[in-house]
A and B are shown apart, each in its own frame.
Chain A
Amino acid sequence: MMAEWLAYPFIFLGIFFEAFMLVTFISRPARTARDRKAATRTPSVALIIPCYNEEDTVVRSTESVLKVDYPKDKLQIVLVDDGSKDRTRAIMEQYRGHPQIKLIFQENGGKHTALNAGIAATDTEIVGCIDADTTLEPDALRRTLVCFERPKVAAAMSSIFIASPHGILERMQSAEYTMGIFYRHALCSINAMYVTPGPFSLYRRSVLEKIGGFTFGQQTEDMEMALRLQRAGYEIDNMPRARVSTHAMDTLPKLVRQRMRWTSGFMRNVLFDYPDLFSSKYGSLGLLILPFGLVAPIAVIALFALFSYRIVHALVLAYLLRQGVPFTWHLFSLHAAGWFYLPISILSLLTVITCVLGVTLVVVGKRLSNAPTNLVSDTISYLLLYGLVSPIWYFRATADVIIGKRRGWR
């Protein structure tokens, strides 16, 4: 009973956060932002694709960029091989001599160095970064560029969805990414975005020249860049109807590694490198979003511990009761059906409401972007799996930050 009371503040915060996001979503700035049409102005754009061992994906990504609806004389593509050990370099060579494509080969120095090399090799007004496993839809670039019509906007991003997810793990990530579409849109409408996602983000070159290029950024150079832009007083915008697709992690260890990097990267960036952002000067980013981002892992771990404790406690109790006595349904109080025995408590109802709100966010994300995802199977996978696997990376990432342990990228 006492343990249950520990859960209520976290569930309360979770419902409050989801309600805040939904209210923000229906507020005028978000409504106006999502109704914008694709840009008519066509500034020069360079799209940089950093590659490290991307032999399986680089061609698909490059071809999708070549097919975007944009004047060819204003679009450059830079493929940067960051010292790959596989056939990436050889595959990139097939684009040598292409009028729109530049090739750069460098010693392995990390993603941020590859991005900086690409930026340095171009002189366009807008610079874009694309992960090598990302595919752009033809109108994604034009639609995203509309964000730069406001002069204070330094970076812009699109919606990201998972292409053809297979299996429950990938479908769970698909729902998560679809929910991310909603969050990004709502956060950008109040300029509270704390990351410019690696799969596809555009930057105003003049701003990058002022604040400097990408850095190691605690292994999350996209978060570090976004936080630096926020600190410098710029805005980060989003166009949800611009879509790009990426690939999900196909195994749990890969997923855990990726999310540990994201979570610990976020924590280290905001706690160690950008603690000054926790200020009213940065509005909802400083007072709400970043604090919530830090509380979220603790909440997930605490709720997981509580529910696990309840389940284990019930099982142990049942085992002790059953010792030496054959099974009878009295063990689980499953005497009869009917409304009387409905297991409705404050905790169970609040948990259901939190889940319903979460599903609502996925549905809204899907409608917002019109991404070709399967809402039903994705949502079911998410509800079944996320609560079980996410505590793994939240716990390990939090522990890593506390004890100061650093891990590799992959």
Chain B
Amino acid sequence: MSLVTRNVLIAFIITIAIGGSVVYAVNYLNGLRIKDLGAIQEKLSVDTLSLETQISLLESAPCSIVGTGTDLTSELDDLGQRLSYTENQLGSNDPQVILLKQQYSLLEVRDYLVTNKLAKTCNTKQVTVLYFYSNGSDCTNCDRAGYALSYLHDTYPNIRVYSFDYDLDLGAEKTLLSIEKITGPLPAFVIAGKTSYGFTDLATLEKQFPKGALIATTTATSSTTKK
């Protein structure tokens, strides 16, 4: 074998090794991300169950656990951001992403129910927004709507946004859709109980909020906006 042929072979093996290592490293990192998300979700699941149990136990005075609920929402927010990032990295059709999104949506629904219950009982000034989007081409304004909601959430911390992928095959989400009677085109919003469809601009969206809801405060409450 000539020197050049030998060097070509060695260089080829090195190149394959580099390429293989890179693919392995990226897959490994993505696996770690999925694991991380799974761990957060498990913890949140326990926390949510704990919160629900606390509310049941303290039927007479559930308002004493409002602080715990805030912590939970903050974690849910972090989870949403991580999941959104992972979805961008791995793609919307990745089976693990879909599974995590389903679990995340369940947590959102439970947090939504707890938040509503606390708001009613304790008279808190939380404004909840249910936001239904789609990653498909049939929802051209979903990206803009998501960004506008992120802006509103960042600016007005008393707004909690729960975003749901309309195409996700999840029983609880379907029930929520039927309860809220969501039938129209996407994006769809349920803002403080009122349903609206489509997104044109921020000002129009802001008009959907009840009077006094859009007040910037320093209270640390949060949620997430995906898509």
Contacts and interface: CB of A to CB of B under 8 A. Distances in A.
Nearest to A283: B4
Interface stretch (A76-84, A86-94, A321-329, A387-395): A321-329
Contact of B7 (A20, A325, A330, A346): A20
Interface residues of A, number: 41
A341 B4 contact: no
A288 B3 CA distance: 14
Interface string B132-145: 00000000000110
A333 B85 contact: yes
Interface SS of chain B? helix
Contact of B4 (A284, A335, A342): A284
Contacts of A330: 147, 150-151, 154, 225
A336 interface: yes
A320 interface: yes
Given A19-B15, A330-B154, A330-B225, A324 B201 contact: yes
Contact of A19 (B11, B29, B147): B11
Interface string B9-44: 011101100110011011001000100100000000
A350 B143 CA distance: 30
Contact of B81 (A22, A24, A325, A335): A335
Residues of B in contact with A, size category: 35 or more
Among A190, A320, A335, A353, chain B packs the most CB atoms within 10 A around the CB of A335
Interface in B143-162: 143-144, 147-148, 150-151, 154-155
Contacts of B225: 330
Contacts of A309: none
Contact of A20 (B8, B202, B203): B8
B3 A16 contact: no
A340 B11 contact: no
A167 interface: no
B144 A15 contact: no
B82 interface: yes
B151 A328 contact: yes
Contacts of A20: 7-8, 11
B117 to A, nearest CB: 28
B151 A326 contact: yes
B3 A29 contact: yes
Interface string A14-53: 0111011011100111000000000000000000000000
A12 interface: yes
A346 B12 contact: no
B202 A346 contact: no
Given A328-B151, A333-B84, A341-B85, A321 B15 contact: no
B88 interface: yes
B78 interface: yes
B124 interface: no
Contact of A340 (B33, B143, B155): B33
Contacts of B82: 340
Contacts of B14: 19, 23
Interface in A294-332: 317, 320-326, 328-331
A340 B36 contact: yes
A67 to B, nearest CB: 39
Contacts of B50: none
Given A320-B144, A324-B201, A349-B25, A336 B78 contact: yes
4 closest A-B pairs by CB:
A20-B11, A330-B150, A19-B11, A16-B15
Interface of B: 2-4, 7-8, 10-12, 14-15, 18-19, 22-23, 25-26, 29, 33, 36, 78, 81-82, 84-85, 88-89, 91, 143-144, 147-148, 150-151, 154-155, 201-203, 225
Given A12-B15, A317-B143, 14 more contacts: A1-B91, A16-B15, A24-B7, A190-B4, A283-B4, A322-B147, A325-B147, A328-B147, A330-B147, A330-B151, A330-B154, A340-B33, A340-B85, A350-B18
8 contacts: A15-B18, A19-B11, A190-B3, A288-B8, A323-B201, A325-B151, A326-B151, A330-B151
